[in-house]
Chain A
Amino acid sequence: MSISHAPPSSPEPDISAISHSVDAAAAHLDRGFLDLQPVVPVPSRRLRIPRWLRRTTGPILLLALWQLLTSTGVLTADVFASPGRIAQVGWDLVRDGSLPSAMGISLRRVAFGLLFGTAVGTGLALVSGLFRIGEDLVDAPVQMLRTVPFVGLIPLFIIWFGIGEAPKIAIITLGVTFPLYLNVYAGIRGVDSQLIEAGESLGLSRWGLVRHVVLPGALPGALTGLRYSLGIAWLALVFAEQVNADAGIGFLMVQARDFLRTDVIVVCLIVYAFLGLLADFVVRSLERLLLQWRPTFTGR
């Protein structure tokens, strides 16, 4: 909001009598008649509503819409049960212990898949990010494999690993590995070479450069990768649990489908959604903690 200048050629000069006699004085006096406009102060905190409340408003509005649709009969109970009904079914599932145990099993699968996927993805990215020889050896195969839809590998994994926990964890691992690899690799290669040079001039060893310059510099990328990976981990979990599962949230859904219990399916979907939200919260907290040094735009 800058103070605008007067239009360069106004058709009628405001003080014509003076302007043609002394040009300089006229230009000076003209300033007195500039079309000024006030710079309106904007408080830096416009909304006094706390952040968490603002962030929960969206989901609550969605819930209200859902209630409205079911109570007006647009959505019937066998298509999509009402929020109240879902809450009731959810509570029943919690009370008889089937939901907590299913959640525990699903969470464990995701945790293991994330653990292995993070280790493999980050490890490969370090090898190909830090060393040119590593890039030549690792990058091409990874780029090839990442275009294979990992869900298509489920039958193969069942043949290889049987029908126990192994193929499910393997699918999640596979889904997690590639986004992490890509983002950590890009993060490492995106580190400012001037900073590397500064580190060298300070006498940092090769490992010192990696530890103090390359890895912290790659951290923003790595956390973006982690975010993607978490999203894919839940997706992979859904696929993995709907094939040959005998426990877990996916199994609960398959069972509910066989008994035409849409309400149980919706409960399971909501559980997935909340787990995803929780994962996002964890990454957000990590970012706030680890990236506080970043001089980037944080939104208005």
Chain B
Amino acid sequence: MATDVHRPVTKSAVHVEGLARAFDGRAVIDGLRLDIAPGEFVALLGRSGCGKSTLLRILAGLDRDIQGTALVPRRRAVAFQAPRLMPWKKVWRNVLLGLPGRPERAVTERVLDEVGLGHRADAWPKTLSGGEAQRASLARALVREPDLLLLDEPFGALDALTRIKAQRLVGEVWQRRGCAVLLVTHDVEEAVLLADRVLVMDAGRIVHEQRVDLDRPRGITDPRFAALRAALLERLGVDAAAEAA
């Protein structure tokens, strides 16, 4: 699954070792190590500016000014915080964009139905609501049948109700498809709700790792959920007791 055939094929969907990235001499990622198993859902938490988005961009192949090893699947897809749909293409053409060969429109129908947007296939992006645009963006990522799905705070710009629906959708899609997912977020609750494993990043490294062994679907009222959430918040430097008050 690794891109480089000269390296030993690992059993990971992502294998990163000794990764470093500096902007003008300032190290943003510094000796980072990360393995994601195939089909694993990993959430990456961290304060803003800790390098988590940079890591995602590196894994997406958008930032290649790096040192160290980063092995990723050939088929990978990104959904960004902003939907980044091409405003001059209708929804279904946005979904098809960049697919190899001459794909038919029918290809988009299944994936748009999967995200509940089948009825808006012919709409211009300007007519979509925030949630719909984000779902179109997710459909555009899913149509590539990725082995690794990279999500860069995809729910950050959504309102609270739409966010809950979108989180649920991502959970369902992941369970159905079984692709590895790396979710970059700053929402601890969201991370514990969705991920198998939560990583906390700080100063360019992964400083904490937390398995989440709760049964799915998870409820935020579960005391174990609350305990995990509090522990992670503390890791991030937020006093959970004070926050709850």
Using a CB–CB cutoff of 8 Å, the interface residues on chain A facing chain B are: 194-195, 197-204, 208, 212-213, 216-217, 219, 292-295
Q: Are A212 and B61 in contact (CB under 8 A)?
A: no
CB-contact partner of A216 in B84, B88, B100, under 8 A: B88
Number of A-B contacts (CB under 8 A): 53
Bound Cα distance A170, B97 (Å) = 41
Q: List chain B residues, Cβ under 8 A from A202.
A: 77, 97-98, 140, 144
Bound Cα distance A186, B61 (Å) = 28
User: Digit string of B34-72 for contact with A (CB within 8 Å is 1, else 0)?
Assistant: 000000000000000000000000001110000000000
Most chain A beta-carbon contacts within 10 A, residue among B62, B80, B88: B88
Tell me if B86 counts as interface (CB < 8 A to partner A).
yes
Tell me if B87 counts as interface (CB < 8 A to partner A).
yes
Q: Are A216 and B60 in contact (CB under 8 A)?
A: no
Tell me if B110 counts as interface (CB < 8 A to partner A).
no
- Residue on A nearest B137 in the bound complex, by CB: A198
CB-contact partner of A195 in B77, B86, B140, under 8 A: B86
Q: Are A208 and B124 in contact (CB under 8 A)?
A: no
Q: Are B88 and A293 in contact (CB under 8 A)?
A: yes
Tell me if B125 counts as interface (CB < 8 A to partner A).
yes
Most chain A beta-carbon contacts within 10 A, residue among B86, B87, B140: B86
Q: List chain A residues, Cβ under 8 A from B78.
A: 198, 201
- Residue on B nearest A296 in the bound complex, by CB: B126
Q: List chain B residues, Cβ under 8 A from A204.
A: 97-98
Bound Cα distance A198, B140 (Å) = 10
Q: List chain B residues, Cβ under 8 A from A217.
A: 88
Bound Cα distance A213, B62 (Å) = 16
Bound Cα distance A201, B98 (Å) = 9
Closest chain-B Cβ to A235's Cβ sits at a distance in Å of 32
Q: List chain B residues, Cβ under 8 A from A292.
A: 124
Q: Are A203 and B124 in contact (CB under 8 A)?
A: no
Closest chain-A Cβ to B110's Cβ sits at a distance in Å of 18
Bound Cα distance A216, B78 (Å) = 22
Q: Are A216 and B86 in contact (CB under 8 A)?
A: yes
Closest chain-B Cβ to A68's Cβ sits at a distance in Å of 47
